[in-house]
Amino acid sequence: MPATTMDQIVSLCKRRGFIFPSSEIYGGLQGLYDYGPLGVELKNNIMQDWWRANVYERDDMEGLDAAILMNRLVWKYSGHEDTFVDPLVDCRNCKSRWRADHVKGKCPNCGSTDLTEPRPFNMMFKTAVGPVADAESFAYLRPETAQGIFVNFANVLATTSRKLPFGIAQIGKGFRNEINPRNFLFRVREFDMMEIEYFVMPGTEDEWHQRWLDDRRAWWESIGVPRERITIYDVPKDELAHYSKRTYDLMYAYPDIGAQEIEGIASRSDYDLGSHSKDQGSLGIQARVNPNSHSTARLTYFDTATNRHLVPFVIEPSAGVGRCFLAVLSEAYDEQMVKAPPPEKLAAVADALAAFLKSVGKSEKISANARDAILDRGQTIAAGLPDALPQIETLLALPGADQIELGKKLRGQAQPLADEHFRTVLHLKPDLAPIKAAVFPLKRNHDGLVALAKDIRKGLQKSGRMRAIYDDTGAIGKLYRRQDEIGTPFCLTVDFQSLEDQTVTVRDRDTMAQERVAVQELEAYLEDRL
Ligand code: GAP
């Protein structure tokens, strides 16, 4: 079963080093996160998979990696200086600031109704290029990678001789000064984007829009996000971005926050190339664009069939890597009972949980919001025992829970039972898994076993096709659990038989089935299954 709460994912990411709050030792910076050792592997694997599917496996695509800082005029003519704004309101009582559409007449922080009128706030970060900060050096951090593609359209066309339709793909950082970053990686201020600008003949855009919708849905499924968990939102006209003729938002059913945008697929007409072109009046541009008095290029395509220059239309599939990362983890997440816990031990946990929740209800040490959150989650867990037993750890990690003395007793009862009878497992697609194989010696103080296990790891790693690790820091059962939790598809155990016949036990993460495989055949065996 996928994750049912965002806390399950947050807690796993923290405990296993997928994600760290940015600059944590100095108190952090809101809306910014760092990808830890496992996080960076998963993120890179997602981006590689996207690149492979959209660039290498197609014959109509080029890649690009444009600079993050660009001439300010890019953002003037793209429309972002005027329109990349959120309306915000201030609470006069607690001085907090909110997006106007997130406030229903009342401050979400203190409940006051003393709010300012909404006013526009441009979400682009500003900086200066060079030693003097003045109007000349003023620049923005890009809020999307797309504009780097549009302003390079003529360069790519001239150097590749592409014919329509063709696309340009790019993965890179985007920056948005979000008013209220929230929900972990879902809404942040710095994030990687995977964007395609696909250039088509005017008049064929609706057909290509549909084809891209189908292609992108197939990709999400291929990386482990089932079709039925993504709904399509045909964005109403009055909600469309300034450049869009029509947009389909793919909405993934995230835990806690429900169906939210994971990718937008916009039909951008000839707005972008038209906006960045000189001589606009002679190009037959169909979109309403602002006059451009700075561009030095006509961003057109010469159509040999009609012997004329035209401005291509654009279909743009655009997805955030962080939102993808969250969805992939949520889908892969599973808490499985491996054997039923004894009834008397379960009853003791249920009693400890009830006592803890009673104490939370009476406590004056924690805020009302934190208390409600703990009680809410705690009651759901109590009703869901024994299956929900592993979630007690997540409950005890909620803000304020550490203030309750009885939490220690609850952890003492629940944790050993969860460790022994449950496993958390990430059923990641093997090619997304941060680590592909983990090698263990049955005994860590036996030179022969250790040497062979280290040799095997080295050989697998050297193949350059997989990340393999060696671990001897616990009993085999515990090592299996540790790897299950981070989605390692295969665990290899070197035992005494290995020394005699040069075979090892290979254990499958999902089925937990084990089989013996010859050391010599390991690389081929794993590659087959990865
Ligand atoms: N070039 C088109 C564009 O930028 P967008 O809908 O604003 O469109 C594209 O953003 C994708 O980027 C979204 O579908 C979402 O996955 C991701 N995204 C947008 N804002 C984000 C934020 N503040 N934090 C994390 N991801 C975000």
Kindly give the number of the ligand 1 atom that is closest to the alpha carbon of 181.
23
CA of 179 to the centre of ligand 1 (A): 14
Percent of the chain with pLDDT over 70: 100
Residue 111 has pLDDT above 90, yes or no: no
User: Which residue, judged by its Cα, is nearest atom 18 of ligand 1?
Assistant: 320
Residue 50 has pLDDT above 80, yes or no: yes
User: Which residue, judged by its Cα, is nearest atom 27 of ligand 1?
Assistant: 320
Which has the higher per-residue pLDDT, 83 or 152?
Answer: 152
Which runs of E-coded beta strand occur in 8-60? 19-21, 33-35
Residue 491 has pLDDT above 90, yes or no: yes
pLDDT of residue 463: 82
Q: How many residues does the chain have?
A: 530
pLDDT of residue 409: 96
Question: How far is residue 438 CA from its own chain's centroid?
Answer: 25
Q: Which residues line ligand 1 (CB under 6 A)?
A: 144, 146, 176, 178, 187-188, 191, 193, 195, 261-264, 316, 318-320, 322-323
Select from 208, 226, 209 the least CA-distant residue to 217.
226
Kindly give the number of the ligand 1 atom that is closest to the alpha carbon of 145.
1
User: Which residue, judged by its Cα, is nearest atom 16 of ligand 1?
Assistant: 320
CA of 408 to the centre of ligand 1 (A): 41
Q: Residues 148-171: what's their mean pLDDT?
A: 97
Query: Which residue from 189, 323, 325 has its CB within 8 A of the most atoms of ligand 1, so it is best to mutate?
Result: 323
CA of 324 to the centre of ligand 1 (A): 11
Query: Which residue from 30, 83, 144 has its CB within 8 A of the most atoms of ligand 1, so it is best to mutate?
Result: 144
Which has the higher per-residue pLDDT, 347 or 110?
Answer: 347
User: Which residue, judged by its Cα, is nearest atom 14 of ligand 1?
Assistant: 263
pLDDT of residue 101: 83
Query: Which residue from 175, 191, 326 has its CB within 8 A of the most atoms of ligand 1, so it is best to mutate?
Result: 191
User: What's the pLDDT tens digit per position in 305-341?
Assistant: 999 999 999 999 999 999 999 999 999 999 999 999 9
User: Which residue, judged by its Cα, is nearest atom 26 of ligand 1?
Assistant: 320
DSSP string covering 483-513 = HHHHT-SEEEEE-HHHHHHSEEEEEETTT--
Q: Which of 203-217, 233-247, 453-467 has the highest mean pLDDT?
A: 203-217
- β-strand pairing of 468-470 with 61-64: unpaired
Kindly give the number of the ligand 1 atom that is closest to the alpha carbon of 261.
14
CA of 2 to the centre of ligand 1 (A): 24
d(CA 387, CA 393) in angstroms, rounded, equals 13
Kindly give the number of the ligand 1 atom that is closest to the alpha carbon of 178.
23
C-alpha dihedral, 212 to 218 to 220 to 222, nearest 10° = -140
Eight-state DSSP code of residue 103? -
User: Which residue, judged by its Cα, is nearest atom 20 of ligand 1?
Assistant: 187
Residue 1 has pLDDT above 80, yes or no: no
CA of 191 to the centre of ligand 1 (A): 9
d(CA 43, CA 201) in angstroms, rounded, equals 34
CA of 319 to the centre of ligand 1 (A): 6
Residue 86 — very low, low, confident or very high, per pLDDT cuts 50/70/90?
confident
Residue 183 has pLDDT above 80, yes or no: yes
On the 0-12 / 13-18 / 19+ scale of CB atoms within 10 A, 493 is buried
Angstrom distances, CA of residue 217 to CA of 1, 230, 240, 333: 21, 8, 21, 21
Select from 440, 428, 379 the least CA-distant residue to 16.
428
CA of 175 to the centre of ligand 1 (A): 10
pLDDT of residue 135: 84
d(CA 102, CA 106) in angstroms, rounded, equals 10
The number of beta carbons lying within 10 Å of the beta carbon of residue 438 is 24
User: Which residue, judged by its Cα, is nearest atom 5 of ligand 1?
Assistant: 264
Kindly give the number of the ligand 1 atom that is closest to the alpha carbon of 146.
1
Kindly give the number of the ligand 1 atom that is closest to the alpha carbon of 185.
25
**Single pTM value for the model:** 0.92
User: Which residue, judged by its Cα, is nearest atom 12 of ligand 1?
Assistant: 320
What angle is formed at CA 407 by the lines to CA 402 and CA 409, rounded to 5 degrees? 145
